[in-house]
Chain A
Amino acid sequence: MENISQPAQRAPHFRRWAKLFIALLPAVLAVNFIRASEELNIVKQATFGEKPIPIAVEGFSGEALGVLNFDLTIQGFKLVPEASAPQYVVKGTSEGSVAGSLTDAIAKQTLFSRTYSGAGLRRQAHALADDIVTQIRNTKPIGGTKIAYKSQAPSGNGEVYVADFDGNDALAVTSDSTIVAKPAWVPGHLALYYTSYARSNPDIFYHSLSSGQRRVIASYSGLNTGAAVSPDGSKVAMILSKSGSPNVWVCNADGSSLKRVTTGIEDSSPCWSPDGRWICYAAKANGRRVLAKVSAAGGEMERVSTSGAPNPTEPDWSPDGKWIAFTSQSGGYFNICVAAADGTVSPVIITAGQNPSWAPNSRTLIFNRGPAGRQNLAAVDVFTAQARDCRRTGGSNSEPAWAH
């Protein structure tokens, strides 16, 4: 088995590609903009059960209109006719290239007016949607972000895919015709960890998408799965059963310095707090499924309150640190739930589905839903519960991970 290169040696190369890729739009678009107002909106604290912000979007058609509708809906906006006199109106065109201006009818101000060029209509429309959302909500833009996920055939075999967050431009990054599971991004880098049965055992692979090279970083006897990369990219949490029960272990990015951090009977799905101090995971306590957290350095398990949401699994901690999304199961039904990470807000059911993963904006989740064997990815705005299906890749799509 080869050892992975030290991240430090690889970083300059990675950073250049990651910038081009993840922050694609600012680099390739020639943006001609007039900022009519530097005034910042006062952003309200996001809460559950929010009403979406009505916005009229006029003058766009086809693919560009579809992108604007998708992006705005899953970030808490609702497209309405201009005749209904909403506060926000976007006027523009998608003939040849995308141009748009955003006006605030109450303040009687044009907030921006921009023309986008390069990279195709779809990317231009994502860039306009980002500008609208950033102007009104001041959240982190997601229009150029990617997701990784698995697509599975009825045989159980599948491949790991990378696509735009709305499911477009899907690209298989594996071709092993085997069971795959739980892709996880290295933050800020074009690289994944995932589980693959390619070597006749569930092993954890590191896969550089810029070089195409991959390495096995965990292939202990028994289960190796559920890799999750720490926010600084230096550590990987994962589930190993080498000690005789499936538990959370932490190692360096290259698999070295392995350390067991939980000792329960049956753990799954570790995720990191954004400050890198905690690992939240699904555990069993007295035969019941619970969410727990443990210091990344090891220590006592602490319960994460999920009262009222039965059988919690698959936690994911929001980038702003405030929320933990997870899957609650009742009978054969799965719901996406969100609870306050500090326990101050009881879990709220957002929508039916499994496997939630936070967007960089800390308000949108990507998840999978639909009948068994034919799961579809979807994105939901947590605070308005507005969801849209992503474009499907052939097969059953699941376990999405949003790149940060």
Chain B
Amino acid sequence: MDFSIKNMKLNNLILPVALALIAAFATTGCKHGPNGQLTTVPGQRLPAPSATPADFNTKPIVAENTPPIVANTNPPVVSQFNGNPIPTSAGWDPADMNQDREKLAAYTVHFKFDSAIVQDHEQANVANVGQALSANPAAKLLVEGHCDERGTEEYNRSLGERRALALREALAKIGIDPMRIRTISYGKDQPVDPGHDESAWAKNRRGQFVYCTPKAPVQ
């Protein structure tokens, strides 16, 4: 079941339903502790995109719907990201897996000019990708980093990698094992829009998610 909330309009329309679903299924999240460090919230794996504490307070019933046993059967979330770069994952090769480019296409993240910072309004896309990975422990992720044409070739190849790595770090921050995630930079070699204006550039500065699953064993 897809219980993700893709935008605020949807949220407004079906908030009660969504909140109930979130509480029932989204067993997720990290909180910032008093010292600013990430701390573990037992029983939660991914943050629900719009489930703020205020929402829970207005709908106390959701707490009752969460079976306490979940906390015991799921390992506590340990954030994989402490602010330092995470060494890349070498244990698997995307070329050896089925690559589904469509499944996560709706969650493509866009960046500001010359920036590899994941903007706040893109966190929902990151969360949705995280949920897809949590739903299938065998799945892995290839993150593609792309740039607009306003940069030199090799500079953009590094910037695209930095963008892909920033998304990997954002996923690690919400509890996804970064070793499940590989990155690839295409620099400015693979624009989605071949135009030469701000509208094209904005589309081309992006991180795309390729959902990878093991190939069926050969009979």
CA distance A354 to B154 in the complex (A): 11
B85 interface contact, C-beta 8 A: yes
Binds B, one of A112-120, A238-246, A378-386: A238-246
A195–B183 alpha-carbon span in the complex (Å): 16
Contact residues, A143-161 vs B (CB, 8 A)? 152, 154, 156
In whole angstroms, what is the CA distance A271 to B170 when docked? 32
Cβ B154 vs Cβ A222 within 8 A:
no
Check if B165 is an interface residue, CB within 8 A of chain A: yes
> B88 and A266: CB pair below 8 A?
no
> Which residues of B lie under 8 Å from residue A332 when comparing CB positions?
149-150, 196
A239 B150 Cβ-Cβ under 8 A: no
- Interface locus among B30-38, B51-59, B184-192: B184-192
A199 to B95, CA, bound (A): 8
Complex interface: chain A residues within 8 A of B161 (CB): 222-223, 241, 246
Q: Within the complex, which residue of B152, B183, B187 is in contact with A241, where a contact is CB–CB below 8 Å?
A: B183
Known contacts A199-B95, A241-B165; is-contact A269 B154 (Cβ 8 Å):
yes
Asked if A202 lies at the interface with its beta carbon under 8 angstroms from chain B, I say: yes
Provide the bound-state CA to CA distance between A221 and B196, in Å. Answer: 32
Q: Chain A interface residue count: which class?
A: 35 or more
Chain B residue contacts of A33, Cβ below 8 A: none
Chain A residues lying within 8 Å of B159, measured Cβ to Cβ, are: 266
Q: A221-B88, A222-B182, A222-B183 are in contact. Are A246 and B151 (CB under 8 A)?
A: no
Residues of B within 8 A of A327 (CB): 152
Give every chain B residue within 8 A of A399 (Cβ-Cβ). 153-154
Which of B87, B94, B190 has the most CB atoms of chain A within a 10 A radius of its CB? Answer: B87
Q: A372 to B104: give the CA distance in the assembly, Å.
A: 30
Chain A, residues 180-194, CB within 8 Å of chain B (1/0): the string is: 011000000000000
**Would you call B87 and A226 a contact (CB within 8 A)?**
no
Q: Given that A156-B186, A246-B162, A313-B152 are contacting pairs, would A225 and B157 also be in contact in the complex, using a CB cutoff of 8 Å?
A: yes
B158: Cβ under 8 A from any A Cβ = yes
Q: In the docked arrangement, what's the CA distance between A5 and B180, Å?
A: 34
* A220 x B155 contact (CB < 8 A): no
B116 at the interface (CB under 8 A from A): yes
Q: Does B84 contact A (CB under 8 A)?
A: yes
Q: What is the distance, in angstroms, from A216's C-beta to the closest C-beta of chain B?
A: 13
The distance in angstroms between the C-alpha atoms of A223 and B154, with both chains bound, is: 11
- Bitwise interface map of B from 84 to 99 toward A, beta carbon under 8 Å scored 1, else 0: 1111111001110000
**Chain B interface bracket (under 10, 10 to 19, 20 to 34, 35 or more):** 20 to 34
Q: Does A289 lie at the interface of the complex (its beta carbon under 8 Å from any beta carbon of B)?
A: yes
Q: Beyond A156-B189, A314-B154, is A244–B149 a contact (Cβ under 8 Å)?
A: no
Give the dominant DSSP class at A's interface: loop
A398 contacts B by Cβ under 8 Å: yes
B88 touches A242 (CB 8 A): yes
Q: Does A211 contact B (CB under 8 A)?
A: no
Bound CA span A54–B194, Å: 45
Q: Which residue of B lies closest to A265 (CB)?
A: B162
- Flag whether A355 is at the interface (Cβ < 8 A): yes
**CB neighbours of B154 from chain A (8 A):** 181-182, 225-226, 239, 268-269, 282, 313-314, 399
A401 to chain B, nearest CB (A): 12
Identify which of residues 247-270 in chain A touch chain B, using a CB-to-CB cut-off of 8 Å. 265-269
> Which chain B residues border A278 with CB–CB below 8 Å?
none
**B-side contacts of A267, CB under 8 Å:** 158
Residue of A nearest to B117 (CB): A287
**Contact indicator per residue, chain B 139-157, by CB within 8 Å of chain A (1) or not (0):** 0000000000111111101
**In the complex where A241-B165, A313-B154 touch, is A221 in contact with B185 (Cβ < 8 A)?**
no
Contact B95 A268 (CB under 8 A): no
For residue A334, CB closer than 8 A to chain B, the reply is: yes
- Please tell me if A179 contacts chain B, counting CB pairs below 8 Å: yes
Q: Contact check: which of B89, B152, B162, B182 meets A354 at CB < 8 Å?
A: B152
Q: How far is A241 from B162 in the complex, measured between Cα atoms in Å? A: 9
Which partner residue on chain A sits nearest B190 by CB separation?
A: A156
- Our pick among A200, A265, A355 for the contact of B153 (Cβ within 8 Å) is A355
Contact yes or no, B152 A329, CB < 8 A: yes
A201 at the interface (CB under 8 A from B): yes
Q: Is the CB of A221 within 8 A of B89?
A: yes
CB-CB nearest in chain A for B159: A266
**Which of A222, A313, A373 is within 8 Å of B155, CB to CB?**
A313
B186 touches A221 (CB 8 A): no
Distance in Å: Cβ of A213 to nearest Cβ of chain B: 23
| Closest partner residue, chain A, to B183 (CB atom) | A222
B150 touching A246, Cβ below 8 Å: no
The 6 closest A-B pairs by CB, nearest first: A244-B85, A156-B189, A221-B88, A246-B158, A268-B158, A222-B88
Sampled A-B contacts (17; CB under 8 Å): A181-B154, A181-B157, A221-B88, A221-B89, A223-B157, A223-B183, A223-B184, A226-B154, A242-B90, A244-B165, A266-B158, A269-B154, A282-B154, A313-B155, A334-B152, A354-B153, A372-B196
Given A222-B161, A241-B88, A243-B88; 14 other pairs, CB 8 A cutoff: A156-B190, A195-B157, A200-B93, A201-B184, A202-B184, A225-B158, A239-B154, A241-B165, A242-B88, A246-B158, A266-B162, A269-B155, A282-B155, A314-B155
